[in-house]
Amino acid sequence: MRYLHTMVRINNVEESLGFYCGLLGMKEVRRYDSEKGRFTNIFLAAPLDEGIAKETKAPVLELTYNWDPEKYTGGRNFGHLAYEVENIYDTCARLQKEGVVINRPPRDGKMAFIRSPDGISIEFLQKGEPLPPAEPWTSMQSTGTW
């Protein structure tokens, strides 16, 4: 497993970049705008991680700006922790065997979500290309929220 990113939602791009980049010295390493999803993801790296973050896309802080105004309460501004895994199916099967609920199964062979005992959302992303669709994951429904 390899640490990838932590995601936080922001209300104002300029203000947030002023804080994270201007005051903390973080560096923007990439940005993604989704017209369909109506959001912007801005990925920041600590100064000493900038080179590796550009090369491997980790470790970074993901700032998510939703284009439609939303008031974040109850920790909704914190999104999730993300980890890259060698085999998403094996990882989910092992955790499920130990009683962990797979909130968002890896139906696509690429992404899954679970929650920690404290309710922190954790995303697993398949290293490299997605795995071919496989049961029981393909037909498994999502459970709860993530």
Residue 27 tokens, joined: 């560096």
DSSP β-ladder status, 60-66 and 2-10: parallel
3-class DSSP state of 127 = coil
Residue 126 and residue 106 in contact, taking contact as beta carbons nearer than 8 Å: yes
Q: How far apart are CA 16 and CA 20, in angstroms?
A: 6
Of 42, 51, 32, nearest in space to 8 by CA: 42
CA angle centred on 54, ends 14 and 26, rounded to 5°: 35
Catalytic residue from among 50, 123, 129, 135: 123
64: nearest Cα among 16, 129, 117:
16
Is residue 123 annotated as part of the catalytic site, yes or no? yes
Catalytic residues: 123
